[in-house]
């Protein structure tokens, strides 16, 4: 699947610029096993890079201008690298401009280049196509001009580019896109950026994503609002318990004791975060022991928390998880990513995948009049150079 994408990207570059690209970069989307809305709360997350990617082709053009072509969008733009970057109405270009802006802010020296890219990461499905775009684009410039930016710094600069575009995201998406390893999940400590790889062995269960195929429009503002509410919550907690420095030092009792002085929403957000941080450690231990039943149970609990306390689910995602919860062959299911649409991540007993896919698709279409999309993803490597 990716071979065709790579061929197509290279051929398009050659046709557009009349020369062979010098660097080919592959940058993946990500899944997250557990630990949702935890990265910006200094907790732990358990994501992995996937085998859905953006392929970029690059070459220097020895001018001060860069031309970037998005094959799938049938769109392109030129950017004068000597000017200050500004946000535009053409959203995808802003991620690119955001990366260039970061490079300029940090004083890196580079000049014009041509770039063509194409993707098989579904957009708006919670698989972090924007992180793959930022990190792959930056990785390519880093290689082309030998800027010597370290992988973790590529992730951090990608995150800053996303902030510049307007989403105050945590580090999880960019980190997993850059640092992913085949068949491994990454446990990231989002406070220190320490990380460790764990085998992604789900035993008798297949990892399948069900894409609700909806994207509710308030995602950006609601995401930023959740982050603000958590900041308000941790400030209240810290001022009452000076020994606490972040959510990971709290237990539920700390939060419950402050219910009266928190707004109802801030209280619920804090409760979710404290419980979810604990779940990530339990889930990682369960995965290490091959105890997929416990891992799955924790995933269901996460969904419940995201839906009721964090309020980032929607009718479509709840329906998918509620339906799968009644299935003996589904050990775990939950919404994945920022929420308000996009995918659920599901662990389904091998041998039952096709039946469940068919039944759920029919019910989903019947209930919402929307076609369910299904992705069988594999855990792949992080952003890398493609060597033919
Ligand atoms: C989005 C953000 F970009 C991530 O940083 C993370 O907060 C995630 O939502 C929720 O876990 O993907």
ipTM of the complex: 0.99
Residue 338 Cβ < 6 Å to ligand 1: yes
219 confidence band (pLDDT: 50, 70, 90): confident
Q: Model confidence over 139-168: pLDDT tens digits?
A: 999 999 999 999 999 999 999 999 999 999
Q: What is the pLDDT of residue 215?
A: 87
Indicate where the chain has its CATH 3.30.230.10 domain(s). Answer: 2-201+381-385
Query: Which atom of ligand 1 is found nearest the CA of 39?
Result: 7
131 CA: nearest ligand 1 atom: 3
- Asked if residue 217 has pLDDT above 80, the reply is no
Atom of ligand 1 nearest to the CA of 130: 3
User: At which residue do the structure tokens 């149970």 appear?
Assistant: 297
Residues tagged active-site: 173
Token reading at 201: 């062995």
* Ligand 1 centroid to residue 172 C-alpha, Å: 6
| CA atoms of 136 and 130, how far apart (whole Å) | 10
Q: Is 276 in the pocket of ligand 1 (CB under 6 A)?
A: no
The mean per-residue pLDDT over the stretch 299-322 comes to: 98
42 close to ligand 1 (CB < 6 Angstrom): no
Closest residue CA from atom 3 of ligand 1:
169
Distance between Cα 79 and ligand 1 center (Å)? 29
Please state the atom number of ligand 1 nearest to the C-alpha of residue 36.
Answer: 11
Q: Tell me: pLDDT of 315 over 70.
A: yes
Under CATH, to which class is 2-201+381-385 assigned?
alpha beta
Give me ligand 1 centre to Cα 174, in Å: 10
Q: Judge if the beta carbon of residue 318 lies within 6 A of ligand 1.
A: no
Ligand 1 mutation target, pool 169, 230, 303, 313, most atoms within 8 A of CB:
169
CA 95, CA 135: separation in Å to the nearest integer? 10
Pocket test for ligand 1, best of 33, 35, 39, 344 (most atoms within 8 A of CB): 39
* Residue 134 Cβ < 6 Å to ligand 1: no
Closest atom of ligand 1 relative to the 45 alpha carbon: 11
Is the CB of 334 within 6 Å of ligand 1?
A: no
Q: In this predicted model, what pLDDT tens digit does every residue of 240-285 receive, in sequence order?
A: 999 999 999 999 999 999 999 999 999 999 999 999 999 999 999 9
CA distance 347 to 296: 7
**Could you tell me the CA-to-CA distances from 164 to 76, 155, 168, 234, 344 in Å, in that order?**
21, 14, 8, 24, 28
Query: How much is the mean pLDDT over the chain?
Result: 97
Using the predicted structure, report yes or no on whether residue 1 has a pLDDT greater than 80. Answer: no
Query: Alpha helix (H) ranges present in the chain?
Result: 2-17, 91-105, 129-144, 151-165, 172-179, 219-240, 252-256, 264-289, 292-308, 315-325, 353-368
Q: Whose CA is nearest to atom 5 of ligand 1?
A: 170
Percent of the chain beyond pLDDT 90?
A: 97
pLDDT tens by residue, 223-233: 999 999 999 99
Nearest CA to ligand 1 atom 1: 338
CA of 76 to the centre of ligand 1 (A): 27
* Secondary structure of residue 207 in the 3-state scheme: strand
Please state whether the predicted TM-score (pTM) of the whole model is above 0.90: yes
* 37 touches ligand 1 (CB under 6 Å): yes
Per-residue confidence band for 381, with pLDDT thresholds at 50, 70 and 90: very high
Whether the CB of 39 sits within 6 Å of ligand 1:
yes
Residue span(s) of the chain under CATH 3.30.70.890 come to 205-377
Distances from the Cα of 374 to the Cα of 52, 115, 358, 377, angstroms: 13, 30, 10, 9
Segment 222-226 long-range contacts (CB within 8 Å, at least 24 positions apart): 222/312, 222/339, 222/340, 223/167, 223/168, 223/169, 223/312, 223/338, 224/166, 224/167, 224/168, 226/37, 226/269, 226/310, 226/312
In CATH, the architecture of 205-377 is 2-Layer Sandwich (3.30)
Helix-helix angle 129-144:91-105, to 10 degrees: 40
């Amino acid at each position: 699947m990716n071979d065709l994408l790579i061929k197509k990207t290279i051929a398009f570059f050659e046709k557009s610029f009349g020369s062979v690209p010098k660097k080919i970069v592959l940058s993946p989307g990500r899944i997250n096993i557990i630990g949702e809305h935890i990265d910006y709360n200094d907790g732990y997350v358990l994501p992995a890079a996937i085998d859905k990617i953006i392929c970029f082709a690059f070459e220097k053009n020895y001018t001060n201008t860069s031309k970037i072509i998005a094959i799938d969008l049938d769109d392109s733009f030129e950017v004068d690298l000597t000017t200050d970057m500004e946000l535009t109405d053409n959203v995808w270009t802003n991620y690119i401009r955001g990366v260039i802006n970061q490079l300029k802010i940090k004083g890196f020296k580079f000049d014009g280049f041509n770039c063509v890219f194409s993707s098989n990461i579904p957009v708006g499905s919670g698989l972090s196509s924007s992180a793959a775009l930022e990190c792959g684009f930056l990785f390519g410039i880093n290689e082309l001009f030998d800027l010597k930016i370290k992988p973790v710094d590529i992730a951090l600069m990608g995150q800053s580019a996303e902030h510049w575009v307007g989403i105050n995201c945590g580090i999880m998406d960019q980190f997993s896109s850059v640092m992913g390893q085949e068949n491994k999940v990454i446990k990231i400590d989002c406070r220190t950026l320490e990380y460790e790889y764990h085998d992604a062995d789900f035993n008798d269960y297949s990892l399948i994503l069900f894409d609700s195929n909806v994207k509710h429009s308030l995602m950006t503002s609601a995401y930023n609002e959740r982050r603000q509410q958590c900041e308000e919550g941790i400030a209240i907690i810290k001022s009452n318990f000076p020994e606490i420095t972040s959510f990971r030092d709290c237990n539920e009792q700390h939060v419950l004791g402050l219910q009266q002085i928190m707004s109802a929403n801030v209280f619920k957000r804090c409760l979710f975060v404290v419980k979810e941080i604990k779940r990530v450690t339990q889930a990682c231990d369960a995965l290490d022991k091959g105890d997929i039943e416990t891992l799955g149970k924790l995933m269901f609990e996460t969904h419940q928390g995201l839906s009721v306390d964090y309020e980032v689910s929607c009718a479509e995602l709840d329906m998918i998880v509620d339906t799968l919860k009644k299935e003996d062959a589904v050990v775990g299911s939950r919404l994945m990513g920022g929420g308000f649409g996009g995918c659920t991540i599901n662990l389904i007993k091998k041998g039952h995948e096709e039946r469940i896919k068919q039944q759920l698709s029919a019910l989903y279409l019947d209930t919402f009049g929307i076609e369910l999309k299904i992705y069988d993803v594999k855990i792949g490597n992080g952003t890398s150079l493609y060597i033919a």
